[in-house]
Amino acid sequence: MARIVAGIGTSHTPAIGACVDNGKTGEPYWAPLFKGYEPAKAWMARTRPDVAIVVYNDHVNAFDFKIIPTFALGCAEEFPIADEGWGPRPVPPVKGYPELAAHLVQSLVLDEFDITIVNEMQVDHGLTVPLTLLCGTPQAWPCRVIPLAVNVIQYPAPTGHRCYMLGRAIRKAVESWNEELKVVIFGTGGMSHQIQGPRAGLINTPFDTAFLDGLSRDPERLVAIEPLEYLRDAGAEAIELVMWLVMRGALGERVEEIHRFYRVPASSTAVGNIILESR
């Protein structure tokens, strides 16, 4: 049987990808961030998952505004890297797992989640920056990837509760797949940030710290956070954190916190990283 063994929460700030791609990781602004991710990278290399489900959001790259799916699951063999306006990132193409993805769709729809099936999709920094942070710069990504794109751009995003329940349904779906597979799930985006309007640059470290604590010890408290509270207290784009709740929901009740890192800033963002193993 396939098993979800761990979850990774991480920011996906585009400037981090640009920094790696341009060889600037040693600069004083960036060096502490990459040092902070070293334990997570080492953990990823040790854990050697077969598949990573990456919960992320597209930033007006794969999806324009013609169609706005709330939950879109990538079912393709391969996902090309998007040109977001300055050329595609020079990273390997992302290899999918169509058989498992199709199974997930089937299971999730029967569990009353209306998943949009995507058979062709480019992936942007929301998905590739987390892979870079956890896997470095390999010739090929070390595992297959199933992208799960969540609409957090046009409000309202799905609620934290809905995301958490989706995570639980994903766990059930994975466990009903009859193949020995080690699966990890990424929840990406966040943490506190706002990148629009006169209030841009907002950071709320106490909110972020409490969020990381909650993932580890009291996810039910996080599930109850209202959409408005993310916007008001942690910035308009902090709503991305609901994607971390998909990840947490997929881990089952008991988790062990393996690693945590937090730093301000990367560009306009508070960067957070947490690794939770299912127990």
Partner 1 sequence: MTAREQTEAYEDIPGTWVFDAQRARQGYHLNEFLYSLMKAANRAAFLANEAEYTRRFAMTEAQRTAVLRRDWNKLLELGGVSYALAKLAFTDGKSYQYMASRMTGMTEKEYVEMMLHGGRSPDGWRSRAERQGRA
User: Which positions are annotated as active-site residues?
Assistant: 125, 193
Q: Which is nearer to partner 1, 10 or 192 (CB)?
A: 192
Question: What element of type H or E holds 70?
Answer: none
215 token code pair: 């993932």
For residues 53 and 20, what is the distance between their CA atoms, to the nearest angstrom? Answer: 23
**Pick from 91, 166, 169, 270: which binds partner 1 (CB under 8 A)?**
270
Q: Please list, in sequence order, all residues whose beta carbon lies within 8 angstroms of the beta carbon of residue 35, skipping any fewer than 6 positions away.
A: none
Q: CB 207 → partner 1: shortest distance, Å?
A: 8
Q: Which is nearer to partner 1, 138 or 206 (CB)?
A: 206
Q: Alpha carbon of 244 to those of 83, 212, 268: distances in Å?
A: 26, 10, 19
Based on the shown chain and the rule CB under 8 A, indicate whether residue 216 belongs to the binding site for partner 1: no
Q: CB 159 → partner 1: shortest distance, Å?
A: 11
Q: CB 91 → partner 1: shortest distance, Å?
A: 18
Based on the shown chain and the rule CB under 8 A, indicate whether residue 204 belongs to the binding site for partner 1: yes
Q: Which long-range contacts (CB under 8 A, 24 or more apart) does 229-236 make?
A: 233/204, 233/207, 234/191, 234/192, 234/193, 234/202, 234/204, 234/207, 234/208, 235/192, 235/193, 235/194, 235/199, 235/202, 235/203, 235/204, 236/194, 236/195, 236/196, 236/197, 236/199
3 state DSSP class of 166: helix
Binding mask 87-126 for partner 1 (x = CB under 8 A): ----------------------------------------
For residues 122 and 101, what is the distance between their CA atoms, to the nearest angstrom? Answer: 16
**Pick from 47, 70, 128, 194: which binds partner 1 (CB under 8 A)?**
194
Q: Which is nearer to partner 1, 90 or 201 (CB)?
A: 201
Based on the shown chain and the rule CB under 8 A, indicate whether residue 178 belongs to the binding site for partner 1: no
- Residues that bind partner 1 (rule: CB under 8 A) add up to a total of 45
Residues that bind partner 1 in the complex, under the rule CB under 8 A: 14-15, 59-61, 64-65, 82-86, 153-156, 192, 194-205, 207, 226-228, 231-237, 264-265, 267-268, 270
